[in-house]
């Protein structure tokens, strides 16, 4: 965990105890609780995330000389941030230390079509949170079936439509994410961590059956090799058809 003068950044490894926790939840059939991960904020030198949040929590119910109470959304997002358990390919940054309702997520996939890319998402958490989902937008222009050229993201838990899907790729992590993506809609029990894992999953398993970019979805369905070539061309920077993509490789 590191802190700068104008913003702070959070990164974390996915630890074995998290996988054990999720496995127990799956065995018990208590699917809704899998997102309530164990807080694994680092406790090394300097001012760690947990210490920062503990301090904010102590004075977080009141703000400024006027004694204004923190809103329910602010209290809940503070809890979500405390309990973040980020995969090694994800990083969160807060441009304003005093504003937890607006932040950025950077995803850097290390496998799949988008390996080596760097994709930035903005999160805007409204006062209706957690009853309403955050507004999430991809700030990086990307060639992807589930992200359009304006940055809108097609992810089930960010909307209220059930989309039944067939089997996904192998692996325990993928099974866990698949459970998340099969939820009917956003529910207050879900967390920021839920959304982060869902977004990462989109880069590992793009879904052409529920597209925002229909052209990319069609290519993925009919010619995976061409789709892979188009993705690599977009990551390096260049034209895919008539659309120009800025370079977004790390």
- The answer to whether 194 and 35 have CB atoms below 8 angstroms apart is yes
| Widest distance between CA atoms in the chain | 62
Element (H, E) at 243: strand 243-245
Joined tokens for residue 185? 């809609």
List the catalytic residue out of 40, 154, 177, 248.
Answer: 154
Cβ atoms 158, 195 nearer than 8 A: yes
Give the C-alpha separation, 250 to 238, whole Å.
Answer: 16
CA distance 105 to 93: 7
In the residue annotation, 40 being an active-site residue is answered as no
Query: For the chain, where are the alpha helices, taking DSSP H only?
Result: 16-28, 49-59, 72-82, 172-181, 192-204, 214-222, 224-236
The residue written with tokens 């977080």 in the block is 60
Torsion of CA 2, 97, 69, 54, to 10 degrees: 10
Distance between CA 150 and CA 140 in Å, rounded?
9
Query: What Å distances lie between residue 189 and 28, 36, 72, 129, 186, CA to CA?
Result: 18, 9, 14, 11, 8
Which DSSP state fits 71?
P
As a whole number of angstroms, the distance between CA 178 and CA 169 comes to 9
**Catalytic annotation, residues:** 154
């Amino acid at each position: 965990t590191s802190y700068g003068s104008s913003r702070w950044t959070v990164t974390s490894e996915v630890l074995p105890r998290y996988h054990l926790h999720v496995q127990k939840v799956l065995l018990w059939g208590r699917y809704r609780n899998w997102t309530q991960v164990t807080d694994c904020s680092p406790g090394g030198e300097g001012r760690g995330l947990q210490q920062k949040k503990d301090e904010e929590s102590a004075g977080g119910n009141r703000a400024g000389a006027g004694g204004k109470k923190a809103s329910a959304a602010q209290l809940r997002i503070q809890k979500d941030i405390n309990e973040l358990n980020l995969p090694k390919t994800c990083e969160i940054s807060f441009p304003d230390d005093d504003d937890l309702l607006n932040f950025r997520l950077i995803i850097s996939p290390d496998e799949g079509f988008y390996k080596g890319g760097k994709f930035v998402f903005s999160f805007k958490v409204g006062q209706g949170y957690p009853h309403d989902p955050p507004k999430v937008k991809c700030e990086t222009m990307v060639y992807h079936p589930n992200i359009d050229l304006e940055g809108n993201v097609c992810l089930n838990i960010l909307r209220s439509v059930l989309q039944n899907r067939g089997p996904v790729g192998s692996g325990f992590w993928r099974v866990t994410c698949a459970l998340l993506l099969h939820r009917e809609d956003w529910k207050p029990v879900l967390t920021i961590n839920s959304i982060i894992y869902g977004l990462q999953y989109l880069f590992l398993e793009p879904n052409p059956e529920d597209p925002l970019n229909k052209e990319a979805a069609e290519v993925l369905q009919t010619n995976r090799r061409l789709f892979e070539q188009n993705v690599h061309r977009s990551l390096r920077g260049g034209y895919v058809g008539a659309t120009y993509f800025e370079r977004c490789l790390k």
